[in-house]
Amino acid sequence: MKTITLICLFFLVTLYTGFTQTERTTTARNQRRKTRNRGGRNTSSLNHRQGRTLLNKPSVSPVPVASILITPDNTFVNAYDSVTGLREQEISYNILPVKKGHCSVNGMIMYDKAVWSPKPCLTCLCTNGKVVCDEMMCPPLKCLSTMIPEECCPVCADIALQNISLDDKPEISGDSSEPNDPRDPVIVQPLLTHEMTKILTMEEERIQAEKKNIQIKDEKQRRRKEKKLQKEERKRQELEERRKENKETQRNTEEERRKAYEEEERILEEENRKREENERGKEMRRQEEEEKRQVEAKRLENERNQREREEEEDGEDDEDDDGEDNEDEEEILRGDVFRNPSSRFPSPAPPEEIPFMQQPLPQGCFIAGISVSCTNAKLSQIPPISDLDIKRLDLQGNSINSIPNEAFNGMPNLEIIDLSKNNITSNSLGPQAFKTLKNLKRLYLDGNTLAQFPPDLPSTLEEVKINENNLQVIDEHNLEGLHNLVTLELEGNLLSEGNVNPLAFKPLKHLSYLRLGRNKFRTIPQGLPISIQELYLDNNEIEEISETCFNQTTNIHTIVLKNNKLDESRIAPLAWIYHESLESIDLSYNKFFHVPSYLPKSLVHLILIGNMIERIPGYVFGHMEPGLEYLYLSFNKLASDGIDPVSFHGAYHSLRELFLDHNELTTVPIGIEDMRALRILRLNNNKIRSVPPHFVCGAYEEDSNLDYLHLENNFIQRREISPYAFSCIRSYSNIFLKPQKIK
């Protein structure tokens, strides 16, 4: 567009200059002419030129001139004419280094496709920065008189006169005698060299100024872009730093929460253990009291019998001595006393008491009925006790470091032995130490340093605990003969899928309770017995659950896999979905980002505390029958947009407890009002700011079964709560709204 505007400007300036020069000049100018009839001229030169285009002869003025030609197809061609003068100086043609496609001729700029004649019979063309010239050869003439017209070659005089018309006007005004034919180029009056140079200089300056302005604008725009990019980069870095700080803070907070939760669990476990111990102690004391009562009753019965025998013997002596005394004695004695025949033999002496134990108990030990307790008595060996009635021996918390083969020979009827928290090693344990105990049912060896499973255990055992030891291997023969074993606990050892033989659990036909927590398992151990009902694998390194892990355990109903490395992508779709007995799964403190799919259809209890869950997929509980009842999702990253209306589809009718505390919820989740069986709802420690009227109670007028609702530690303005928000809850004392966070 700029090029066309520039050419039009040149055209207008040339027209104006030519018109002013015509008015000032009174002398005739040498102009190029063309005759009306070119037939003769073309005939005379056709055989020699053969298709070459006839070019106008330039003026004889020694200064260069320029002409603008307008072609019939409405395109513009700039033609610069340069005449060398009478001396025919040599012309130098150069390519302009800056303007691509232009030519430089004697200091003049020739544009691409420009045509000029530096001297008669010589025509030059600028094409793609190169100058191409063509010289015309004049043919010989066979006539008496010749003349040189405006063309370069002479012609015969008679032909030139015939071409002159009487209607030609003298060239006074400078107009061309050529007719105004639109098919022929119109020749405009040429400009002087200095004028053309001035115009070109001004145009060049204008173009340079425009370029400079464009460069300045581009530079300003580039600087603005750089400043904007720098600002955005600073913002991005600040956001990244803030995000890192938030992540670090959140990670520390989660770690503190997890530690607090684990500490709370540990305390609860310790309390439960103490409670069990207290109950066990109470049961033992009750049994001891019952045994004492029975012994005392037996003793009193023996004394009564002995007294009756003595009284009967005295009565018989009195009968033999005096009849009257017998009558008086009959009045005194009860009527139901049976009188034996008189006997002259003396009454037998009472039997001597058999000593209870051959040796006294060590200091710190005491006996209660059928139990001997030596807890924390600082013993270094098994005390030498010989009593057939002892059934329970408690030796936990001592420093016993060896158990010889004959350690329990004096107590062959033992049923319970507790050797927890001692210093027993595999090498110091006699191979026949427990073999003679034909009634042993419970054996506790927690907190020792055993590296191997104890050998030759009696087949009567029902419960074995070897937690917190150094067990490194369980081969296929360690558990042989223990077909009555029901409970096996091996937590806190060095066991893994590499050192536990898949055939090790095969002899355990009645095993229902197995604890393998705090070991080194990376996968579910193979070869679990079909009778297993509860499996605990917490605090391991399990990363995957394959399709074949629980193929044989059709009776299992509880699986605990908390504190492992599981995520939703490493659980096979067919791992447990078709189990009909599996009711409880604990997947707390793993690496789940959403609630896993393909859960067992019989699931009732699901624990996912302490993960990174951000979403509850739709219809994830839809296949469960009769339906999920307990769902714990505390300490996750659930936001309001991560819960859809169909997230709880399939559990609306069955959910009884729903824990969503310590998440990132901003509103009460959709669908709570449709959970008609819900009794406990925890939404505390979130980011909830309001409770809409129908999000808890819905539009129903009937009372809800909700017993406890926790909304404390949010951002709720209690005064802004609608009076209908909790209208379905029977007791407002079960709604916890204090305290709330400050905005």
Q: Which two tokens stand for residue 512?
A: 């229902």
Residue 22 predicted with pLDDT over 90: no
Which residues contact residue 449 at a Cβ distance below 8 angstroms, ignoring those fewer than 6 apart?
423, 424, 425, 469, 470
Determine the pLDDT at residue 317: 56
Residue 88 predicted with pLDDT over 50: no
Q: Which range has the top average pLDDT, 235-239, 363-367, 560-564, 718-722?
A: 560-564
Identify the residue with better confidence: 116 or 472.
472
Determine the pLDDT at residue 33: 43
For the chain, percent of residues with pLDDT exceeding 90: 41
DSSP string covering 195-213, please? HHHHHHHHHHHHHHHHHHH
**Counting Cβ atoms within 10 Å, is residue 420 exposed (0-12), middle (13-18) or buried (19+)?**
buried
Distance of CA 456 to the CA centre of its chain: 50
What's the rounded mean pLDDT across residues 11-17? 72
For 429-449, b where at least 16 C-beta lie within 10 A, e where not — what string?
A: bbeebbebbeebbbbbbbbbe
Q: Is the dihedral of CA 144, 145, 150, 152 positive or negative?
A: positive
Backbone angles phi, psi at 373, to 5 degrees: -120, 125
Determine the pLDDT at residue 203: 81
Residue 513 predicted with pLDDT over 90: yes
Helix H or strand E encompassing 336: none
Cα separation, 103 vs 130, in Å, equals: 7
pLDDT band at 715 (very low <50, low <70, confident <90, very high): very high
Cα separation, 537 vs 535, in Å, equals: 7
Identify the residue with better confidence: 63 or 213.
213
Confirm if 128 and 101 have CB atoms less than 8 A apart.
yes
Confirm if 419 and 397 have CB atoms less than 8 A apart.
no
Q: Which two tokens stand for residue 484?
A: 């009555």
What's the rounded mean pLDDT across residues 311-329? 55
pLDDT band at 343 (very low <50, low <70, confident <90, very high): very low
**Counting Cβ atoms within 10 Å, is residue 526 exposed (0-12), middle (13-18) or buried (19+)?**
middle
Q: Which two tokens stand for residue 511?
A: 């095993």
Residue 269 predicted with pLDDT over 80: no
- Name the region of 651 (left: φ>0; alpha: ψ -120 to 50; beta: rest): alpha
Confirm if 10 and 199 have CB atoms less than 8 A apart.
yes
Determine the pLDDT at residue 166: 40
Bridge partners for 195 per DSSP: none
Identify the residue with better confidence: 703 or 741.
741
Tens of pLDDT, residue by residue over 523-577, are: 999 999 999 999 999 999 999 999 999 988 999 999 999 999 999 999 999 999 9
Residue 128 predicted with pLDDT over 50: yes
Cα separation, 514 vs 467, in Å, equals: 12
Residue 40 predicted with pLDDT over 50: no
Beta strands in 548-706 (DSSP E): 558-560, 584-586, 605-607, 630-632, 657-659, 680-682
Residue 283 predicted with pLDDT over 80: no
Cis peptide before 693 (omega within 30 of 0): no
Determine the pLDDT at residue 527: 92
Look up tokens 């690496």; give the residue.
591
Cα separation, 681 vs 616, in Å, equals: 17
Q: What is the largest distance, in Å, between two alpha-carbon atoms of the chain?
A: 217
Bridge partners for 449 per DSSP: 425
Residue 489 predicted with pLDDT over 90: yes
Confirm if 79 and 114 have CB atoms less than 8 A apart.
yes
What's the rounded mean pLDDT across residues 257-265? 76
Confirm if 582 and 602 have CB atoms less than 8 A apart.
yes
Q: Which two tokens stand for residue 715?
A: 């951002």
What's the rounded mean pLDDT across residues 423-427? 93
Average pLDDT, the chain: 77
Residue 46 predicted with pLDDT over 80: no
Least confident of 73-77, 444-448, 551-555, 705-709: 73-77
Q: Which two tokens stand for residue 26?
A: 């009174």
Determine the pLDDT at residue 632: 97
Which residues contact residue 188 at a Cβ distance below 8 angstroms, ignoring those fewer than 6 apart?
11, 14, 15, 18, 67, 68
Residue 402 predicted with pLDDT over 50: yes
Identify the residue with better confidence: 426 or 58.
426
Short-list 118, 121, 123, 122, CA closest to 106: 118
Confirm if 589 and 563 have CB atoms less than 8 A apart.
yes
Short-list 16, 398, 2, CA closest to 191: 16
pLDDT band at 335 (very low <50, low <70, confident <90, very high): very low
Determine the pLDDT at residue 149: 60
Determine the pLDDT at residue 734: 86
Least confident of 149-163, 317-331, 530-544, 700-714: 317-331
What's the rounded mean pLDDT across residues 64-71? 37
**What is the residue extent of each domain of the chain?**
2-191, 197-297
Residue 304 predicted with pLDDT over 60: yes
Tens of pLDDT, residue by residue over 227-238, are: 888 988 888 888
Cis peptide before 739 (omega within 30 of 0): yes
pTM over 0.75: no
What's 720's DSSP letter? G
Helix H or strand E encompassing 743: none
Cα three-residue angle 278-519-448, rounded to 5 degrees: 50
Short-list 627, 614, 738, 735, CA closest to 681: 735
Determine the pLDDT at residue 71: 37
Distance of CA 622 to the CA centre of its chain: 25
Determine the pLDDT at residue 314: 66
Tens of pLDDT, residue by residue over 198-232, are: 778 888 888 889 888 999 989 998 888 888 889 88
Short-list 531, 533, 595, CA closest to 560: 533
Determine the pLDDT at residue 320: 53
Determine the pLDDT at residue 2: 64
Cα separation, 683 vs 667, in Å, equals: 10
**Counting Cβ atoms within 10 Å, is residue 500 exposed (0-12), middle (13-18) or buried (19+)?**
buried
Identify the residue with better confidence: 272 or 516.
516
Tens of pLDDT, residue by residue over 412-422, are: 999 999 999 99
Q: Which amino acid is at 390?
A: I
Cα separation, 562 vs 568, in Å, equals: 14
Count helices and strands in the chain by DSSP H and E runs: 5, 28
Determine the pLDDT at residue 92: 43
Determine the pLDDT at residue 1: 59
**Three-state DSSP class for 67?**
strand
Tens of pLDDT, residue by residue over 614-666, are: 999 999 999 999 999 999 999 999 999 999 989 999 999 999 999 999 999 99
Determine the pLDDT at residue 152: 72
Residue 441 predicted with pLDDT over 80: yes
**Counting Cβ atoms within 10 Å, is residue 608 exposed (0-12), middle (13-18) or buried (19+)?**
buried
Cα separation, 677 vs 355, in Å, equals: 65
Q: Which amino acid is at 56?
A: N
Confirm if 608 and 588 have CB atoms less than 8 A apart.
yes
Cα separation, 458 vs 415, in Å, equals: 11
